[in-house]
Amino acid sequence: MQPTGTHEQVVGLLNRKLNVWIEQEDLAYFIPNTVMVQLLGYDSGYKPDVLMIDRMALAQEPLWERASVITLASSVKVLIEVVSTNWPDDYARKFEDYEAMGISEYWIVDYKGLGGRRYIGVPKQPTITIRNWINGMYQIQLFRRGDVLASAQLPGLQLTVDQVLQAGD
């Protein structure tokens, strides 16, 4: 099923803002158009909405030369999923797999506040969740309207929740 237009507007804004940050910081990172993230040894995986890759780490990726497939957490700086109607996948199933891989930072951008109350709180409202890999597990931060996003992997990134939400309006 194709994502909605507003979903793609949010993805587009995130790609643009993160690419500007990469350029400003002069880093060897990039955001591919299409890439699969999968646990090594599995036949299937996920195509994240936004994936920032460390170009220097790709030499260690066993499948990269044959296919745009990432299997090692060390290659990933930030992985972002923009929530749609299948929100349980982003909050539970993908979360478990990304945590098993040890992805250092995983964002869930719930610009419509679709997620369950146990994930985004009460009252349900648009929320950006940033999960940081610390000591073998994710530490979770919730960001809402009026907040500036704080990313451990992207120091100096100037991006607010309001900017992201406006892209989906």
Range of the domain at 66: 5-167
Query: What is the 3-state composition of the chain as percent helix, strand, coil, each rounded to the nearest 5?
Result: 35, 25, 40
DSSP SS3 for 107: strand
Q: Look up the pTM and report it.
A: 0.95
Residue identified by tokens 């992805």 is: 103
- Residues 17 and 109: beta-carbon distance below 8 Å: no
Q: Give the pLDDT score at 54.
A: 98
- Residues 127 and 106: beta-carbon distance below 8 Å: no
pLDDT over 90 (residue 1): no
Q: Quick one: CA torsion of 152, 92, 58, 62, rounded to 10 degrees? A: 150
DSSP SS3 for 138: strand
Question: Could you tell me the CATH number of the domain that includes residue 85?
Answer: 3.90.1570.10
pLDDT digits (tens, 9 = 90+) for 66-123: 999 999 999 999 999 999 888 888 888 898 899 999 999 999 999 999 999 999 999 9
pLDDT digits (tens, 9 = 90+) for 138-150: 999 999 999 999 9
CA 95 to chain centroid, in Å, comes to 11
φ/ψ of residue 8, rounded to 5: -70, -30
Residue identified by tokens 């996920």 is: 46
Distance CA 150, CA 155 (A): 8
The tally of domains found in the chain comes to 1
